[in-house]
Chains A and B, each alone.
Chain A
Amino acid sequence: MGEAIVITSGKGGVGKTTTSANLGTALALMEKKVCLIDTDIGLRNLDVVMGLENRIIYDIIDVIIGRCALKQALIKDKRFDHLYLLPAAQTSDKSDLTTEGMEKIVAELKPEFDYIIIDCPAGIEQGYKNAVAGADKAIVVTTPEKPSVRDADRIIGLLEQEDIEPPKLIVNRIRNHMVEDGDMLEVDEIVQVLSIDLLGIVADDEQVIKASNHGEPVAFQPNTKASIAYRNIARRILGESVPLMSFEDQKGMFSRLKKLFSKSK
């Protein structure tokens, strides 16, 4: 029986879709059977990031209102036989997607897949509720900026009221020089405020943007900073204990020391 994980954030544009695509890819690289679900009705993106846009015939709304069977709407990935995408609808009425509909779809997918990764829309409205409805676990994505962390906190508060495991955190788009200059929040600081477990950190890496534009998630690449980060996160999801990338640890120490010194001034 598979596990359904929702990728959420509250704030828009912090990297939910990028994270969904890359974790799906990284888990597939590790021989897991994965199904991605895009729940961002009207603003679907996941198909583009995965490079599968041209294969879409049916979408999630078609499944919900019974225009097709779930199997018919699933799109097989170009690279893996065990990675699938259930795309969002681009034109249909948003209100056709309901929490019951979502729960039903996820329940139907669970016996077939190891992991079901649900890409959540921004916000805390119905779209968020639908995305969370079928999930067993949640991953909250934030960037090291105050507004993003604030919204992550809000989402964590809402997730704590759901019948799911305590959410885990990914801090995305870290730029080291900005952190060192004090222009960005530190990871330690974010984890302390949000008080949930850190699942991983992803550097701000232009390879991510290039990869998205080519419809080939960065996690495929052997050794860019971001691809290693996503594959590490996937390994942690599988239960391995992988330390945070070493440059991060040193930086953490360094800035802690810096803080101490600036206090004693």
Chain B
Amino acid sequence: MIGNKQIITIKGTREGLSLHMDDACSFEELLKELEEKLAANRIDSADQIVGVHIQLGNRYLEKEQEELLCRMITSKQRLRIESVHSEVITKQAAIEWKEEAEVKAVSRVVRSGQVLEVKGDLLLLGDVNPGGCVTATGNIFVMGNLLGIAHAGKDGNTDAVIAASYMNPTQLRIASYISRAPDHETDGVYMECGHIDDEQQKIIIDRLQAVVRKRPGISSFERRMLNG
């Protein structure tokens, strides 16, 4: 190594250990220094497990490289990886990211037996009929009658919401939560919004305005970008 510049700097924070890794050296050098650092700073096995936040700077790691790095840290010490943060992503990841954050407007009737799937938010100008199904990785907004099934936050986003001009759905699903219509016939509701209630841990329906207050990020693109 040239000079005495450290490749890895370890800082203790309230959230655990923060590992800053220099992004100018090769990956092999990085691993080598990591191994030495871990060997030098033994933590007593009686100590409780400490969370680690890895800061990669402008280094991009392939999936296998990241796994290798994490495995090295967790196997040698009583450490747990809390986060791996890099300032850079691949173009493909960026495109996916953008898709996730976009609102897709679709104008049609989703009829019985049909499935409409989108990445990101869905803005449907039309009805979802009984037996029809719409899914989105983000929120679902139906400008019409929602009478079938809607599944928001399909990949696990529990903050996602489902809103409709009129809703009398057979099922609402958000992330892995499911709620179904009552067995007796009901009249449905206008301008309401389904979301997961944190305390009750289930999907509840409330006035649209009330939910917007609970989920201020609904309409903000940037917030979603930062949340990933």
**Chain A interface (Cβ < 8 Å from any Cβ of B):** 146, 150-151, 153-154, 156-157, 160, 193-195
Closest 10 CB pairs of A and B: A157-B111, A153-B112, A154-B112, A154-B113, A153-B111, A157-B114, A150-B112, A153-B129, A150-B131, A195-B109
A78 to B35, CA, bound (A): 97
CA distance A154 to B131 in the complex (A): 8
Rounded to whole Å, the gap between the CB of B130 and the closest CB of chain A is 6
CB distance from B167 to the nearest CB of A (A): 14
Contacts of A160 in B (CB 8 A): 111
Contact digits for B105-118, partner A, Cβ 8 Å, 1 yes 0 no:
00001011110000
Neighbouring B residues of A153 by C-beta, 8 Å: 111-113, 129-132
Q: Which residue of A lies closest to B110 (CB)?
A: A157
A-B contacts, 21 listed (Cβ < 8 Å): A146-B130, A150-B112, A150-B130, A153-B111, A153-B113, A153-B129, A153-B130, A153-B132, A154-B111, A154-B112, A154-B113, A154-B131, A156-B111, A157-B113, A157-B114, A160-B111, A193-B127, A193-B129, A193-B145, A193-B147, A194-B129
A154 partner residues in chain B, CB cutoff 8 A = 111-113, 131
The smallest beta-carbon distance between A259 and chain B, in angstroms, is 10
Residue among B113, B127, B145 with the highest chain A CB neighbour number at 10 A: B113
Chain B proximity of A179: nearest CB distance (Å): 16
9 new A-B contacts at CB < 8 Å, known A153-B113, A157-B114: A146-B130, A151-B112, A153-B111, A154-B111, A156-B111, A157-B113, A160-B111, A193-B127, A193-B147
B-chain residues with CB within 8 Å of residue A157 when the two chains form the complex: 111-114
Min C-beta distance of B44 to chain A, whole Å: 66
> B186 → chain A, closest Cβ, in Å?
13
Separation of A243 and B51 alpha carbons in the complex (Å): 75
What separation, in Å, do the CA atoms of A150 and B130 have in the docked complex?
7
Give, as a whole number of angstroms, the nearest-CB distance from A8 to chain B.
Answer: 14
In the complex, residue of chain A having the shortest beta-carbon distance to the beta carbon of B114? A157
Residues of A within 8 A of B130 (CB): 146, 150, 153, 193
CB within 8 Å of A: which B113-158 residues? 113-114, 127, 129-132, 145, 147
Cα A154 to Cα B109 with chains together (Å): 11
- A89 to B130, alpha carbons, bound, how many Å? 36
Q: Which residues of A contact B113 (CB under 8 A)?
A: 153-154, 157
What is the chain B residue whose CB lies nearest that of A10?
Answer: B112
Kindly name the residue among B112, B131, B145, B147 whose own CB sees the greatest number of chain A CB atoms within 10 A.
B112
A150 to B147, CA, bound (A): 12
How far is A220 from B64 in the complex, measured between Cα atoms in Å?
78
Q: Which of B109, B111, B113, B147 has the most CB of A within 10 A?
A: B111
A89–chain B nearest beta-carbon distance, Å: 29
Cα A115 to Cα B83 in complex, Å, equals 70
Chain A residues within 8 Å of B127, by CB: 193, 195
CB distance from B176 to the nearest CB of A (A): 27
- For B111, give the chain A residue with the smallest CB separation: A157
Chain B nearest CB from A158 CB (Å) reads: 8
Bound state CA distance, A160 and B127, in angstroms? 15
Complex CA gap A151/B130 in Å reads 10
Tell me, in angstroms, the Cα distance from A157 to B110 when the chains sit together: 8
Q: What's the minimum C-beta distance from B132 to chain A, rounded to whole angstroms?
A: 8
Who on chain B is nearest to A146 by CB?
A: B130
Q: For the complex, what is the distance from the CA of A156 to the CA of B132, rounded to whole Å?
A: 12
The residue in chain A whose Cβ has the minimal distance to the Cβ of B147 is A193
Bound CA span A154–B132, Å: 9
Bound together, the chains give a CA A1 to CA B113 distance in angstroms of 35
